Structure 1
Amino acid sequence: MHRLGKAPSLPPGSGPALRRKSRGPRRRRWRQRRRRCEQAHQTCDHYAGPDTCDPVSREQWRPDNPARGQCGTTALVVQDLLGGDLILAEVHVGGAKVWNHYWNRLPDGTEVDLTSDQFQPGEVVVGGRVQHRPPDAPRRCREEYELLRQRVLSALASPRID
Structure 2
Amino acid sequence: MTLRNFNDLERAIRGGWGADTTTPEHRPHWTPDNPARDQCGVTALVVHDLLGGELIRGEVHVSGERVDYHWWNRLGMGIEVDLTREQFAPDETVVGGVVIERPAEIVRLREEYELLRSRVVAELCS
TM-score when normalising by structure 2: 0.92
Q: Distance in 2 between matches of 1:135 and 1:99?
A: 23
Q: Does 1:139 align with 2:113?
A: no
Q: What's the counterpart of residue 63 of structure 1?
A: 32
| Corresponding residue SS for 2:95 | strand
Which stretches in structure 1 are left out of the alignment for 5+ residues? 1-32
Structure 1 residue 96, shift from structure 2 partner: 0.6
Q: What's the counterpart of residue 157 of structure 1?
A: 125
RMSD: 1.7
Does structure 2 conserve the Cα–Cα contact (< 8 Å) formed by 1:91 and 1:98? yes
TM-score when normalising by structure 1: 0.72
Paired residue type of 2:121: L
Q: Distance in 2 between matches of 1:75 and 1:36?
A: 17
Q: Which has the larger radius of gyration?
A: 1
Q: Does 1:88 align with 2:57?
A: yes
Which stretches in structure 2 are left out of the alignment for 5+ residues? none
Higher RCO structure, 1 or 2 (CA under 8 Å, sep 6+): 2
- Give the structure with the higher percent helix: 2
Provide the identity percentage.
56
Q: What's the counterpart of residue 109 of structure 1?
A: 78
Q: What's the counterpart of residue 98 of structure 1?
A: 67
Does structure 2 conserve the Cα–Cα contact (< 8 Å) formed by 1:90 and 1:127? yes
